[in-house]
């Protein structure tokens, strides 16, 4: 593996495993519920009686930052890829690598994944009825592949605007790189960037609101945040990922431990703010809009610190890779595509097992990562599939 980008590959792989763990935790959170009339309205396709408040925190901490970071990472090599391939070849490659796997994911893979939910809701193994319900009552649930189709659209948008912004991207990237020796200023700009992309929409749109047509579903309140972070990734990667903001010797990278402590501290402040804000809201001391403004402003600061901490930790400490990690990294995309099948089925099979929430969570995570890894490794032996997976 190329040492120059191994830390990016390591971070991408870590986030992929974190996604598997995130989905594995959702059956065991204290706020989980299952809707038998339409399981798509449930918090998760399988909900267990075993619950843990610790997994509430684990799930919520991830939710604040990890998808934004995934979009940022996905943008890092876009600029150079577009320059080297040209728009037509770039779009063709994105179509095969993103859109085709998305189509397979939301049909074949999600049909395999959601079957336990149908059985839990209806108590029958009628496959024909399940398929009809999947496409009608449940409105073709997208599952984790939502990220892939949204990423594909973001790539198309960049291709369209690239001729207009090609030179400006280099200018903006150079300006961003100058902040590597000024961590406080970088933090301020990064936070304001995140705040503008997210908080105004959060004031008018419910944070959990999704919309779309069929499987083309997305979280409305975060669409600008995700595109903004994708574009930020483009700026970071435009001069070469290790030649700009993440140049060797960058002060802001050396402060990785500060970002980590700040990320943990700000997230703790976010959770501690919930009860006082709720109390003030109930007493009429704050309006809903004011409470949302305060909470989401802390939320965006938590997102900012967690993303910076993740990037700097991997750049500073994890810029190498062993044999097993290289294999995991090479198969990370496939793991993301297929893991939901193993997560849901494992959670379903553990429903009647008399274990606490944490052991079930750990079993589900481990089984899902290993099985997804093995399946992807085998499937990628096919030359055609391996070229785009």
**pLDDT tens, position by position, 249-283:** 899 999 999 999 999 999 999 999 999 999 999 99
Residue 72, φ and ψ in degrees, nearest 5: -60, -50
| Res 83: pLDDT | 93
The tokens 């605007």 sit on which residue? 161
User: What pLDDT, in 10s, does the model give residues 7-61?
Assistant: 999 999 999 999 999 999 999 999 999 999 999 999 999 999 999 999 999 999 9
**Which pair of structure tokens corresponds to residue 49?**
């009686």
Contact of 220 with 211, CB cutoff 8 Å: yes
pTM: 0.95
What is the average per-residue pLDDT within 97-126? 95
| Res 323: pLDDT | 85
- Quick one: which H or E segment has residue 165? helix 146-177
Percent of the chain with pLDDT over 90: 89
Cα within 13 Å of Cα(157), Cβ side: 13
Of residues 100, 98, 96, 120, the one with CA closest to residue 108: 100
User: What pLDDT, in 10s, does the model give residues 90-104?
Assistant: 999 999 999 999 999
Question: How sure is the predictor about 1, in pLDDT bands with cuts at 50, 70 and 90?
Answer: very low
CA-to-CA separations, 183 to 76, 245, 313, in angstroms, rounded: 20, 11, 15
Cα separation, 152 vs 276, whole angstroms: 41
Cβ burial, residue 326 (10 Å; 0-12/13-18/19+): middle
User: What pLDDT, in 10s, does the model give residues 286-307?
Assistant: 999 999 999 999 999 999 999 9
Question: How sure is the predictor about 4, in pLDDT bands with cuts at 50, 70 and 90?
Answer: low
User: What pLDDT, in 10s, does the model give residues 353-366?
Assistant: 999 999 999 999 99
The tokens 């397979």 sit on which residue? 104
| Res 387: pLDDT | 75
């Amino acid at each position: 593996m190329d040492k120059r980008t191994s830390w990016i590959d390591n971070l991408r792989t870590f986030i992929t495993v974190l996604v598997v763990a995130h989905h594995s935790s959702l059956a065991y959170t204290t706020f989980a519920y299952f809707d038998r009339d339409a399981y798509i309205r449930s918090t998760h396709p399988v909900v267990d009686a075993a619950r843990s408040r610790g997994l509430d925190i684990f799930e919520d901490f991830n939710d604040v930052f990890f998808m934004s970071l995934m979009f940022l990472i996905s943008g890092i090599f876009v600029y150079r890829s577009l320059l080297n391939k040209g728009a037509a070849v770039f779009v063709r490659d994105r179509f095969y690598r993103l859109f085709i796997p998305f189509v397979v994911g939301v049909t074949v893979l999600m049909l395999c994944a959601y079957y336990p939910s149908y059985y839990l809701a209806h108590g029958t193994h009628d496959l024909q009825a399940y398929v009809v319900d999947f496409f009608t009552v449940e409105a073709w649930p997208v599952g984790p592949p939502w990220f892939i189709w949204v990423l594909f659209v973001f790539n198309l948008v960049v291709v369209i605007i690239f001729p207009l912004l090609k030179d400006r991207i280099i200018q903006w990237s150079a300006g961003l790189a100058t902040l590597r020796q000024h961590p406080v200023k970088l933090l301020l700009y990064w936070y304001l960037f995140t705040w503008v992309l997210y908080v105004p929409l959060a004031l008018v749109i419910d944070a959990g609101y999704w919309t779309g047509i069929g499987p083309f579903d997305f979280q409305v309140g975060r669409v600008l945040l995700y595109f903004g972070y994708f574009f930020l990734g483009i700026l970071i990667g435009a001069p070469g990922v290790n030649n700009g903001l993440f140049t060797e010797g960058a002060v802001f990278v050396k402060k990785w431990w500060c970002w980590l402590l700040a990320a943990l501290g700000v997230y703790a402040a976010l959770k501690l703010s919930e009860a006082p804000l709720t109390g003030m809201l109930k007493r009429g001391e704050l309006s809903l809009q004011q409470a949302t403004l305060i909470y989401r402003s802390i939320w965006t600061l938590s997102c900012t610190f967690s993303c910076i901490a993740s990037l700097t930790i991997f750049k500073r400490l994890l810029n190498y890779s062993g044999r097993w990690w290289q294999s995991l990294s090479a198969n990370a995309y496939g793991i993301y595509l297929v893991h939901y099948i193993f997560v849901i089925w494992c959670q379903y099979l553990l429903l009647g097992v008399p274990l606490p929430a944490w052991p079930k969570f750990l079993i589900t995570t481990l089984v899902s990562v290993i099985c997804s890894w093995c399946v992807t490794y085998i499937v990628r032996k096919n030359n055609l599939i391996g070229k785009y997976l």
